Structures are given as structure tokens and as C-alpha cells.
Amino acid sequence: MPFCEGFLWGGAVAAHQLEGGWNEGGKGVSIADVMTVGGYGKPRRITDGVVAGENYPNHEAIDFYHRYKDDVKLFADMGFKAFRTSIAWTRIFPNGDETEPNEEGLKFYDDLFDELLKYNIEPVITLSHFEMPYNLVTKYGAWRNRKLIDFFVRYAEVCFKRYKDKVKYWMTFNEINNQASIDSPFMGFVNSGIIFKDEPNPWQSLFQAAHYELVASAKAVKIGHAVNPDFKIGCMIGYEPTYPLTCRPEDMVLAMKDMHKRHFFSDVHCRGHYPSYATTEWERRNLDLDITEDDLKILQEGTVDYLAFSYYKTNIVTTDKSKIDKDNKDEFSTGVDNPYLKKTDWGWAIDPKGIRYTLDILSERYELPLMIVENGIGLHETRENEQSDGMIHDDKRIAYFQAHIEQMKKAVEEDGVDLWGYMPWGCIDLVSAGTGEMEKRYGFIYVDKDNQGKGTLNRKPKKSFYWYKKVIASNGEDL
Ligand code: BGP
């Protein structure tokens, strides 16, 4: 049996992408609340506060805030052992800088966790998933400011103490490493509250913000372990292996250097110190970073218990500029296709073997347990795709998961990777983070709502729902 006993089969979401209730229960405005709908090749706009008349898809999302009991029941029907979601920071500290938390927000997550535990579903919780309080951006300059460390740590401590008997698995920041793509306004804003490309010295801002976030994470890990020594506290990175287009040594080196962007944050989270490729880069770029001796000590003391990651695709790089399609190069794509792979409708390369490659690299590099907390395929699906049995037949999704789970098995069985769990992304249709659309669907469960916000919000299992139920029941044997 490749997967261990108690393997955490489940699904993943993030508060801002499904809860809605953006201004209910005392919740404050988060950075996700000021982002409009975009689309394929059309980035989401970040508005200056919430502006009347704009379409903000996260405000209602799929209304999980009011419907979570029914949704948790559906997850339980599928046999989920785990459910990954985030706590919306703005439900607990609406402006981020209060000294006392918002009781109504805390209560909401008490109720949600109780509901999950009622069905023996383990909550797997991210503290910050693209939803920091917007006030911290406007009033303090977001993660440019050292004060953010204390705000985050206070928030983390409140959550650890409140939920210490309900939640065992935690993650500090979602995909913290993606902001290293400093040209992407989206990645910088959602991770740090900063659009790096608009900064006078983007590299200075990136590494300073990164440092404060890493210190905040390490402090949180340390405090969490003191609150409950049984806690398992991990980091979470977005992992997209970079392949060279050819075996020309120039391409190989470029791909290797590109991977520094992927590893920089996890190197610090897992090893407790900065890698030499980063410190030499700081010197080369003449950066003047605020890093104290105490900070370096805390990084060492607050290393993580496990490494969680998302995996959707692999990327290609080349030094041969003639091979780069400039029209296809954007925030999420290098503009070079892998000739051996098919792509999704959103241009993401489908590469099941890449998940084994990822598991092996991370396992060898850090020698830590791993958790896959996002994986999946975005598809266009409407009620018109329903078959005579009244179900959406998402065979493409089933094929995608079959192929990826096969490769996970090989990584465990043949390569000895210590894998704790698998939580496919968007287990129920929700708002896409990158595009803000409902149309980019990942779920085992269909939600009746379109990009304009119209629909009944009714839920309906897709074919993959029954397929995944069988996979979980057989602990991954019956694919
Ligand atoms: C990850 C995020 C998620 C999620 C997912 C899919 O980067 O952690 O929040 O949304 O990607 O991306 P998208 O929604 O853009 O398809």
C-alpha cells in the first residue's frame, strides 16, 4: 500500500475564494476585496479601496459563509479525511492593527471546525492566503514595514490559542514564494500587499518584504509549538519546476537559476538560514536590508515541521530569444511551450510526471514530510454539459487526477518520499484567484454561478465526485 495509514485525502480552498460575506460578522476589507474580475490574458484590476459599481467576485464568492454546513456534508459524503481552508485574517482582526480580536469572526471558525470534526475531517489551516487586511497596505505600506511582523504574530497566536484543540495542521503563508516573480503585479500584491514593479527599487522591496514575512512565519512557528507541542506547522510554496527547453548547457544553467526563485523561501523556512545564492545576490545588487541578529536567530529557531506545496504545471525557459512567444508571455507563462505536453484552456501545461519530479526534488532537498495542498485542472463547465443522468461528466478532470496520483504513488513506493496528504484545489467550484472568474472551475462539486454573479448558487456533484469517493475509500488503490 503506497499511501500511509491515515493519509490525508481531502480538498483545498481559501477563505476569500469561497466564503463571501465580505462585510458580515464584523469582517474588515481584505486585499482580495479590492480586486475586480479579469479573465484569460486580462489581469484583475486592483482598485483604490472598494469602489461602487465594480464587480468584485470575492464579495459573495459561493456564499460558503452561510452554506458551509451543507458543503461540509458533501465533503463528508466524498469521504474526506482532511479539508484545507484559510482563516480570513480580516474576520479576526478587521483592520489588522487592533489589540483585541473580533469575537464573531473567531466564533465562525469555531463552528466551521466543529462541523468538520463532527465528520472526522481534519482541518488543515492556512493563516494567510492572499487576504491580508487592506488597512495594513494603506496605513503601513504592507510588508515594507517591520510592524507587520507583530501584527501577523499577534493574529497567529490568537488563532493557535483559540483552536489549539481543534486544529493540528497549520501553514503560515500561502505560496509565499510566488512574489519572487517581481514583474507580476498580482503575485506581489496578493503575497505582500506590494506591486514590486512600481517600486523605485523592486529588488530591495522584494527581499525586505520577504525577510519580514519569513521572520513573522518563524516567530509564529515558535509560538505555535509553545501553545501546543503536537501542532504540525508547515510552510506553503507554489511549486512549478522549470525545465530547460534544450540540453544546451546555457539552457540548463538558466533553468537552474530560475529554480532559485522557487526555493528561496522554502530554503529559509526549512533550513533556518539564507542560502548563499541569495546573500551574494543582495551584495551584487547593493541592497541595504534591515536584518538584525535577533532576526537571524529566530529564523533558525522557527523552522517548519513539514513542507506543503501546490503543483499545477511545469514551465520552460531558454536563452534562445527566437523561441519565446512574446504574445504568450505574461504573469503566469514564460512564453515557451513544452512540445511534449498538452495545455489546459488557460495555457497551463499538463504534466503528471512533474508532480513526481517535484516530490523527489523537495524530499531530497529538505528531508521533511511533504503535503500536496493544491493540484487540479481548471475547466470550462456549464449546466449545458450535463448528460442524461443529470451530471456534468468531467472526464478530463478524472484523467488528470488519475495520472497525477499514479505519479505520487511512484514517488512514495519507488523513491521513498514521505507524503502526508493530498488535497486537490477548489474541491468545490469557487472564484479563481488569478482571473477572478467563476468560469475557471476546479471542483468535484458544481456551483451554479457565472462570471457576472448570476445563478442560484445551488451545488451539484459532478462525475468526479463519485470517482474521488472511490479513490479515497480504497486509499488510492482504485483509480
Ligand atoms: C494558487 C492559489 C489558489 C488558487 C490556485 C489556482 O496559486 O494558491 O488560491 O486559486 O492557484 O489558480 P487560479 O485560481 O488562478 O486558477
pLDDT in tens, 30-84: 999 999 999 877 889 999 999 999 999 999 999 999 999 999 999 999 999 999 9
Strand pairing report for 445-447 and 419-422: unpaired
How many whole angstroms from 303 Cα to the centroid of ligand 1?
Answer: 25
How many whole angstroms from 290 Cα to the centroid of ligand 1?
Answer: 31
Q: Whose CA is nearest to atom 3 of ligand 1?
A: 433
Give the active site residue among 115, 131, 175, 381.
175
Q: Which atom of ligand 1 is nearest to the CA of 174?
A: 8
Percent of the chain past pLDDT 90, that is, above it, reads 92
Long-range contacts of 99-105 (CB under 8 A, 24+ apart): 99/154, 101/155, 101/158, 102/25, 102/26, 102/27, 104/25, 104/26, 105/25, 105/26, 105/27
Q: Is the dihedral of CA 81, 84, 85, 86 positive or negative?
A: positive
pLDDT at 332 over 90: no
Average pLDDT, the chain: 96
For 425, counting Cβ atoms within 10 Å of its Cβ (0-12 exposed, 13-18 middle, 19+ buried), the class is: buried
- Mind spelling out the 3-state secondary structure of 142-156? HHHCCHHHHHHHHHH
pLDDT digits (tens, 9 = 90+) for 231-248: 999 999 999 999 999 999
Cβ atoms of 13 and 85 within 8 Å: the answer is yes
How many whole angstroms from 372 Cα to the centroid of ligand 1?
Answer: 14
Strand pairing report for 445-447 and 459-461: antiparallel
Q: Whose CA is nearest to atom 9 of ligand 1?
A: 433
Gap between the Cα atoms of 251 and 462, Å rounded? 42
Cell of 397: 478532470
Cβ atoms of 411 and 417 within 8 Å: the answer is yes
Confidence (pTM)? 0.97
Percent of the chain past pLDDT 70, that is, above it, reads 100
How many whole angstroms from 13 Cα to the centroid of ligand 1?
Answer: 9
Domain count of the fold of the chain:
1
Residue 343 domain-assigned (yes or no): no
pLDDT at 354 over 90: yes
State mean pLDDT over 318-325. 91
Examine the residue annotation and report whether 175 is marked as an active-site residue of this protein: yes
CA proximity to 154, closest of 127, 129, 185: 127
Q: Which of the residue ranges 3-7, 177-181, 186-190, 327-331 would you say has the lowest mean pLDDT?
A: 327-331
Residue to probe by mutation, ligand 1, list 62, 331, 423, 425, most atoms within 8 Å of CB: 425
CATH code at 133?
Answer: 3.20.20.80
Cell of 213: 514575512
Amino acid making up residue 215: V
Residue 16 domain-assigned (yes or no): yes
Q: Which residues approach ligand 1 with their CB closer than 6 A?
A: 14, 17, 174-175, 238, 310, 374, 378, 425, 432-435, 440
Q: Which atom of ligand 1 is nearest to the CA of 346?
A: 16
Report helix, strand or coil for 8: strand
Q: What is the pLDDT of residue 386?
A: 82
Within 10 A of 205 (CB to CB), how many other CB atoms are there? Answer: 25
How many whole angstroms from 376 Cα to the centroid of ligand 1?
Answer: 10
CA proximity to 54, closest of 455, 454, 452, 456: 452
Cβ atoms of 419 and 359 within 8 Å: the answer is yes
How many whole angstroms from 432 Cα to the centroid of ligand 1?
Answer: 6
Domain limits for position 138: 8-320+350-473
Give the active site residue among 19, 115, 131, 374.
374
Q: What is the pLDDT of residue 327?
A: 77
Residue 326 domain-assigned (yes or no): no
Q: What is the pLDDT of residue 330?
A: 72
Amino acid making up residue 196: F
pLDDT digits (tens, 9 = 90+) for 98-133: 999 999 999 999 999 999 999 999 999 999 999 999
How many whole angstroms from 345 Cα to the centroid of ligand 1?
Answer: 15
Residue 327 domain-assigned (yes or no): no
Within 10 A of 34 (CB to CB), how many other CB atoms are there? Answer: 22
Cell of 210: 520577504
Q: Which atom of ligand 1 is nearest to the CA of 238?
A: 7
For 353, counting Cβ atoms within 10 Å of its Cβ (0-12 exposed, 13-18 middle, 19+ buried), the class is: middle
Q: Which atom of ligand 1 is nearest to the CA of 431?
A: 14
Sorting pLDDT into bands at 50, 70 and 90, what band is 457?
very high
CA proximity to 64, closest of 443, 451, 472: 443
Examine the residue annotation and report whether 374 is marked as an active-site residue of this protein: yes
Q: Whose CA is nearest to atom 15 of ligand 1?
A: 434
Cβ atoms of 11 and 444 within 8 Å: the answer is yes
Per this entry, what is the length of the chain?
479
Sorting pLDDT into bands at 50, 70 and 90, what band is 200?
very high
Residue 85 domain-assigned (yes or no): yes
Residue to probe by mutation, ligand 1, list 310, 315, 331, 441, most atoms within 8 Å of CB: 310
Q: Which atom of ligand 1 is nearest to the CA of 130?
A: 9
Q: Whose CA is nearest to atom 10 of ligand 1?
A: 433
Residue to probe by mutation, ligand 1, list 374, 438, 440, most atoms within 8 Å of CB: 374
pLDDT digits (tens, 9 = 90+) for 132-166: 999 999 999 999 999 999 999 999 999 999 999 99
Residue 1 domain-assigned (yes or no): no
Cβ atoms of 230 and 167 within 8 Å: the answer is no
Residue 396 domain-assigned (yes or no): yes
Cα-only R_g, the chain: 21
Q: What's the angle, vertex CA 223, arms to CA 217 and CA 224, rounded to 5?
A: 85
Distances in Å between the Cα of 76 and the Cα atoms of 3, 86, 424 are 20, 19, 15
Q: Whose CA is nearest to atom 11 of ligand 1?
A: 433
Q: Whose CA is nearest to atom 5 of ligand 1?
A: 433
Q: Which atom of ligand 1 is nearest to the CA of 440?
A: 16
Residue 141 domain-assigned (yes or no): yes
Report helix, strand or coil for 236: strand
Alpha helices in 42-146 (DSSP H): 64-78, 89-92, 103-118, 134-140
Cβ partners under 8 Å of residue 388, min gap 6: none
How many whole angstroms from 130 Cα to the centroid of ligand 1?
Answer: 10
Q: Please tell me whether the interface predicted TM-score (ipTM) of this complex is above 0.85.
A: yes
pLDDT at 325 over 90: no
How many whole angstroms from 74 Cα to the centroid of ligand 1?
Answer: 22
Alpha helices in 326-461 (DSSP H): 353-366, 395-413
Sorting pLDDT into bands at 50, 70 and 90, what band is 465?
very high
pLDDT digits (tens, 9 = 90+) for 361-416: 999 999 999 999 999 999 999 877 788 888 999 999 999 999 999 999 999 999 99
Gap between the Cα atoms of 94 and 90, Å rounded? 4
Q: Whose CA is nearest to atom 16 of ligand 1?
A: 432
